[in-house]
Amino acid sequence: MKTLLLLRHAKTAPAQPGQDDSDRPLTAEGRQAAERIGEFIGNDGLTITAAFCSPALRARETIDLVLSAAKLSLVPVYDSTIYEGDPPALSELISAVEDDDEGLLVVGHNPAIEDLQAILTGQSAHFSPGTLAKIVFETEKWGEIGSAKGTLQRIVSPKDL
């Protein structure tokens, strides 16, 4: 069985004039929300053995806060595929994960995270900033997740915690 956690980055500050979109930081509220989600992951006993993250500042800040609050010492892989937001490319990235890794966290952006969750589970869900979805696949190989429908076991936003 494989567990995929999809996380939309937490709340972000509006872009400043001349600021590149990828350089937008989290707000204070976003930082607190990321910590709450990390605490949820740590307290819920969710196993994460690998992590992918968008290279955008807001996503990097989110994953750093989440991993710290969950007390996980993973080193995320930053991949521009996640920032570019193409669900088929994200599925391909996930499918290439080592089969020894049981739990994968992907931190990215909407609409790609929301769309990927819908494609993998056949269920629609709204992802406000900081929302986490837990999807379970009845397979032993990440390469099979595209053909296997995942089960959406839980979706939680920071406001739920």
In the three-class reduction of DSSP (H, G, I as helix; E, B as strand; rest coil), residue 55 is classed as coil
Domain boundaries, the chain: 2-12+23-122+146-160
Residue 148 has pLDDT above 90, yes or no: no
pLDDT in tens, 149-158: 899 999 999 9
- The reported pTM is 0.96
What six digits make up the tokens of 57?
Answer: 């500042």
**CA separation for the pair 35, 62 (Å, rounded):** 8
Query: In sequence order, what E strands does 30-158 have?
Result: 50-53, 77-78, 103-108, 132-137, 151-156
103: β partners: 3
**CA separation for the pair 155, 131 (Å, rounded):** 7
Query: What's the whole-number mean pLDDT along residues 130-141?
Result: 96
At residue 51, the pLDDT reads: 98
Query: What's the whole-number mean pLDDT along residues 116-127?
Result: 94
| CATH number corresponding to 2-12+23-122+146-160 | 3.40.50.1240
Arithmetic mean of pLDDT over the chain: 94
**Strand pairing of 2-8 and 50-53?**
unpaired
Residue 27 CB partners (closer than 8 Å, separation 6+): 11, 12, 13
| Exposure string for 61-71, b = 16+ CB within 10 A, e = fewer | bbbbbbbebbe
